[in-house]
Structure 1
Amino acid sequence: MKSHWCFLSAALLFATVLATGQYVSVDEYGKPLSKTAQKEIHQNIITVRDALDQKVGDDALLKKIMGFKYIEETYAYMKIDVINRLWWESHDVDKMFSFLKPKTLYYVFYNKLYGWYVNERINESPKVWEKINYYYFGWIDGEGNWREGFGSNPSTTTPTTPLTNTTSTALPKTSVGVNNQFENYHKNDTIPPPTLPDDPGPFNEEIRSLIFQTMPDLHINAINTLHAFDWTFTEYILNNAKFPGKLMQGMNSNTLKWVTTYVPSFPEILAKSDVHTIYDFFGKVPYPCQYFQSLEKSIRSRLAFKYGWLLNCEPPTTTTTTTTTTTPKTTTTKVSTPAPKPLFTIEILQTLRVKVPNFGLLLEIVPFEKFDSNNRKAVALIHLLMNMNDEDAKKANALFDKLDLNTPAKEAADIFFKGVKEFSGALTIYEFIVN
């Protein structure tokens, strides 16, 4: 049966590629965008970038943006470097972002800006933060439609009569309960939990039709039926969905257990996720520390870099025992391997994000263990980028803008090696990548 569904899904995907020549982008409702619409969105992004380069000011830029036909999609598909410049260079974040729909804001904040180190500005943007909260603490009605907002900020709601025996996908606290599992702060609160049944019922024709109508961005009612397919179908869904983090957050514990067991590339997919999804995942997966320790070191490092609590799950530092015999007396010495000092701090990351918006791509292209304070090449790289003047920063960004998530390390190294004539510091970056 599984192979039958896998064949159907593969055939449908092939037909889509054959008809369009590329994977279809979708609008905010999950409907495919025409090529004309995609071109218009691309032009919108160029307009925003050019306006930022020309420093036209918030009011002039906002006037241009409000004239766009596809505003929500423009923000959702905007390149990371452009959206970060818009966030950091705007004098009033609320003015430039608060008009967006809550779900677009949620996606941009947690997938493009990485909320764990942009708090400096979110505190200045109450309207944006309020909308993000309303979206996250919304609910799903009986027809599977998302309902947003409660008229007051859910985070300040005072519980009256606690609900019992309910489940919630709300964010867990970082405290640890029994068996190394998170204590969920919201499990007994008054916020109505999303109606995500543990047992979605029989896999019938209606569910099958719903999946193929909405793939790769699955309907909320179909997320927990993925086990009815071959694992390759789930892998395709997670790699091609517009909001993969939302899908992962909609999975119940049983689905997560199936995904972590049968989808071999899931650790890599999880490592590429936004911090909010990682936070939610380790709040639901059984025995989070045990699962974390089962991952490769490079995956663990990337996850802990985004969500620092996971450092508590790292195995203890190993010790080596050496015995030296000089006389009949035996001396035993324990030598502990010192943990390297952190290469990044919040202040360094904020500065790098402003100076080199695409710096985060290096975290995906280069093995994460190379970003170590004991690595002189890594220290030299950070020192170079932190102390660049504006002219050098412009030259460095011209090279970083040529990278994307799929750039192989060798190709990235070649980009910087060829750019040495324009920017002498490119040699430091090149040596860090290749050595």
Structure 2
Amino acid sequence: MWTRPLVASFYLAALVTSQRMECREDYDFPPTSDYSPSVLADLKVELVKVSGEDMMNVSWAINIDGSIEYLKGTRLVGETVVVCEYTPPLAQVDMAGSHQKWFHYLVRAKYGSNVITAANLPLPPQGSGLSYKYRSIIIPRPKHSFAGRAPKTTIYPKADITDITTDSPRSADPPHTLANILLIIYSGLAAVMILTSGYILYKRCWRRVALLLGLKRLPPSFKVPVSVLLVYPPEDGAFQKAVMALAEFLQKHASCSVAIDVWQQARIAQLGPLRWLAEEVKAAQRVLIICPQSGHPAPSNLISIGPCVPAAAHDLYPLTLNTVASHAKNADELSKFWVLQLGQHHDKRPGSLAPELRACRRFCLLRDLSKLCRSLHTRRRDGKMWADFIFVADSEKSTVKLKDAVEKLSVVIPAEAQPLNSVIAV
């Protein structure tokens, strides 16, 4: 009578102890499904020594709940992209009384900042919220000891100096020597005054002269591209089309080097949204954050208009709000973030803008397009502000596509704008 429960208990024990986890590199886009497991319960990253080498121990916890039957694996994104699969599946393992199950994986450490993202597979559909956990760790470079080493002295070769003297009779002074010397001095002073006056006139009046002569932009050789990161909320197709028209305009006609998720989807898939955003914010001179059109969803018959919204946009916009909030106490760092509103008029009500963005400088397009272009190319020199770029937007043919895309948004904008709730990522 007691043999059956004993055999069953031995079977379950063998099943638990024989459970394995196989990890492999996989750079394909992660699968999505309507039936997906819950988000990871926790994620930890610690620096460990393995055979004298620095490694990162990545540990994660999986919730033991009803959604575990849909779990196909766990995706880790760092320097490489790794997918870990469980054998046998966790749904077939008896873990009664357990609320979490921990796993760990060793990753080669890189000196400096390391960002690890992890998510259970398959991912939920787009728009279902954040599905990744993010952790970062800074690994300092080891300090080398230079004790006992004598500094090297640099020996410079000595040059032989030869004194050359000439024994020649002194020639008589030419006639009118004083007059010739005075003429040379006055000519040099006149040349210096002419050059100085021309330089002062150039510094003070070159912008007005350029506008009077009809110069819209400086020649390409004189323009220095400004690195710009463009971040936007995921809305509908018409809004996405306007965002892409603005990105193309800044890239082609405003002397900007634009970084946007649509053009770097492969890199985002490799690095993960958090690490990609952190690197682009650090490298960009300006971060342009486009405001949502409203708090209401767009009508269903307009969502299919224009290009589709990338999956990364659902994660990047709330992460950007977190980044702005982290710089709120530093005015110099906060000045990098500018807010753009696509429309003809500013909505100046306090509740129409996310709290994180209310301290940022704002522009309304297309009304402030010329002002935006000039501001992007304005730099501080000798305590004064100088513009390296002259642009007259009203007469530019390049604004036609952007103008059409922004004007079409008036069809999508509801009559009453609702306040935007901030989304803080874990």
Q: Same fold by TM-score, threshold 0.5 exceeded?
A: no
By relative contact order (CA 8 Å, sep 6+), the higher-ranking structure is 2
Q: Give the TM-score normalised by structure 2.
A: 0.21
Higher strand proportion: 2
Higher helix proportion: 1
Q: Give the TM-score normalised by structure 1.
A: 0.20
